[in-house]
Structures are given as C-alpha cells and as structure tokens.
Amino acid sequence: MIVVHFPSWFPDAEKPLNGNFILRQIAVADESTTSVILHHAADHFVPELPDNVVFHRVAATSKIKLSKAYVEAFDQIISQYGKPDIIHLHVALPLGPIAAYLANKHHIPLIVSEHWSIYQPMNRHAIHLYQKWLLHYVYKTAKHVTAVSQNLLNNICATVPVAARKPRTVVGNVVNSRLFSLKDNDLQSSKKQILHVSTLDNDAKNIMGILRAIQQLSSQRSDFELNIVHDFENKEAEDFVKSNRLSDIVHFLGRKSSSEIAELLHHSVCFLLFSNYENQPCVLLESFCTGTPVVATTVGGIPEIANNDNALLVSPKDESQLVEKLNFMLDHTGDYQPERIRENALKICSPEVIWEKWMEIYHSL
C-alpha cells in the first residue's frame, strides 16, 4: 500500500515542534506500507523517520508557485512508486485544496485528519469566508475524516456541515512509550515538583491564571515547586514571578527535549494544564505513560482521556478551584496507581494501537 501524506503543519528551525505530533502519527506505519511525506519544508529540515517513511521535499520558490510545485512532486511520486492508494491530509489548511485537487484528478481516496483548534466555538470567528469555502471543498472531497478527539470531530461538523456526512473516526495522538516510561517513585525530590509544558500562549494555556493560582497556593504551603518548560518567552509571566517573589517556587526552564521532559515527569508528583481550550494534549498522554497524574481543565478532548484514576479536573479560568485541586493533589499523590495510569494510557496512545486504527481506515477505502 502506498500512502502520500500532506502535513499542513511541519517543523522548521524557528518552530521545531510545529506538527511534530503529525509526524509521530505518520511514523507508526509498519513495513507493509510505503508512506511518502510531501512538504515544502524550509531550512533543509529532514525529519528522523523509519525506513518505510520517505520525506520528499517540494521545491517551491514562492507561494504563488506552491500548487504547481506540489502537482509536479506528486507526478514524481507516481513515476517512482506507482499510483498511490491513499492521500492522507493532516490539518485541512493550507494544503487541503491541493490534496483535494490531486485526489479528484487521480481518483484517489482522501483522508482528512484534524488537530486544529480553529473549530472550537471560541475560535470559529477567526475563519473568514474564503477559508470556509476552502474547508467545504476539502471536506466534500474527503472519503473519511479523523480527529484526535470526539469533541474535535463534533466541532468540525458544526463548523463545516458537509463533514457530518462523512465516515468519522477518533484517532488519537501517539506517545513514544519507551521514552516516556513508568517512573520510579523513589526519584521524587525533597519538595513536590509540579510540571507544566506549553508555548506560554496565554490565550490558550492561561499561563497567568496558573501563576496567580500558584501565588495563592504559596501563601498556604511551601512544600512544592512549579517547573515550566516552554518554547517561547513570556515577559508578562516572568515579570509576575519576579514582582511577586515567586522565583524560589516557579522555575522557567526554557525548551527541553522529549527525553528531558520525560525525566522531569519522573521527578514530578503531577502535571498541570489550565488551558482555555484544547483538543487532545500530547503532554497529558506523555504524563500518563510515565504514571504521573494530572490537574487539568474540562475543555476539548481532555475529559475523554482524563478520569478519577489519573486526574483532577477543574473548570477553565476558575483559579480558586485550581488552588483547591492542587492542594488536594499535593496531599494525595500516593492515592494514584502509576502502573494503572500507564496501562490505560497505552490502550489509547501506543504506536501499535494507532497504526491498527490507520490500517482499518486505509483498508476500508
């Protein structure tokens, strides 16, 4: 089977984590399938991929010539491998119209897999009229639609009604379960470590809400620290920590590799996410794979993977409730069973489970 992938999001030198979860979904393919990734990646970036996943760089000198470059690259794929069996589009825009055109031209089934938060009710206003038309064209062409959560699938159908007439499947994010291994409780530090990982985008992740809650919590107890791993700087957040004398409690660690994040989780009593909206956060799945419980908000697809066995959930923007749940978590970390948390996580995010879902969809088409 030959599958050609069109990832609308792709890592580059400036954003090395952009769409890395898409590449992880693609990389689960076994040797029965030849997967070809087409992308106009800049900076000569070449992702690390298994032997049966081929990266084909699209030579596009400008946005105007982008569509033509993709069509020419697709013709090269046909010449080298034969006609593909599936076109798999990851995130509808901007590459969706090109993928849909090629699917119609060559009579190849198109799968659309979505990760985009634009479909969430609080974000839909940002979709302008031309984008709505493009989304309709892409989803009208699609033979199957997947998303990382049922919540996202429902919001896609509410935003692009034609998607509701297509077969739909939840296919979640993938975690490297070897890297994010079960933690050893003996590794915990003298002070209880809480971990947060994000871009520090306040609109989505509500980092300022986290810091205000930590400030309140620090007035009640002094046996904890918050470690923050972040891709970008947030001066407002850093100034808040300094002005409120939280520097001994809150530590901005900057960007960390996956192995370093896994190590931080091994030393943490819980992971913290206070988002205003989400789909299916990879960081929660990674935390679960280490056996680490989480405190997170009841938004997007989080309630689909978080429950009483692995999490405490709070309402978005409710800082008082967040303080209450963090207090409880810090006092009851021993109530959670790391082995059980990991075992249940592997049932939804291991590479083998995700590949089985892809194969079922591919063969149905």
147/200 same-domain check: no
User: pLDDT value at position 315?
Assistant: 98
- Statement: residue 325 has pLDDT above 90: yes
Return the residue matching tokens 């960390």. 256
Residue 180 located in a structural domain: no
- Statement: residue 44 has pLDDT above 80: no
User: pLDDT value at position 3?
Assistant: 98
208/161 same-domain check: no
Give me 213's structure tokens: 């809650």
CATH of the domain at 93: 3.40.50.2000
234/315 same-domain check: yes
Residue 148 located in a structural domain: yes
d(CA 305, CA 232): 27
User: pLDDT value at position 11?
Assistant: 87
Average pLDDT over residues 329-354: 96
237/154 same-domain check: no
pLDDT digits (tens, 9 = 90+) for 86-98: 999 999 999 999 9
304/331 same-domain check: yes
83/228 same-domain check: no
Residue 179 located in a structural domain: no
Say what the pTM is. 0.95
162/204 same-domain check: no
Positive or negative torsion for Cα 360, 362, 363, 365: positive
Average pLDDT over residues 139-162: 98
- For residue 278, how many other CB atoms are within 10 A of its CB? 25
121/190 same-domain check: no
| Own/partner pairs, 97-101, CB within 8 angstroms, 24+ separation | 97/67, 97/134, 97/137, 97/138, 98/6, 98/66, 98/67, 98/70, 98/71, 99/6, 99/138, 100/137, 100/138, 100/141, 100/142, 101/67, 101/71
Average pLDDT over residues 28-40: 94
pLDDT band, residue 186 (cuts 50/70/90): low
- Statement: residue 188 has pLDDT above 70: no
8/132 same-domain check: yes
Residue 36 located in a structural domain: yes
Poorest-pLDDT segment among 46-60, 123-137, 238-252 = 46-60
User: pLDDT value at position 264?
Assistant: 97
pLDDT digits (tens, 9 = 90+) for 108-137: 999 999 999 999 999 999 999 999 999 999
Domain that holds residue 309: 185-348
- Statement: residue 43 has pLDDT above 70: no
| Closest CA relative to residue 212, chosen from 322, 332, 316, 101 | 322
Average pLDDT over residues 327-351: 96
- Strand order, beta sheet including 294-297: 250-254, 224-230, 192-198, 270-273, 294-297, 311-314
277/253 same-domain check: yes
242/161 same-domain check: no
Spatial contact of 365 and 86, defined as CB atoms under 8 Å apart: yes
Domain count within the chain: 2
16/163 same-domain check: yes
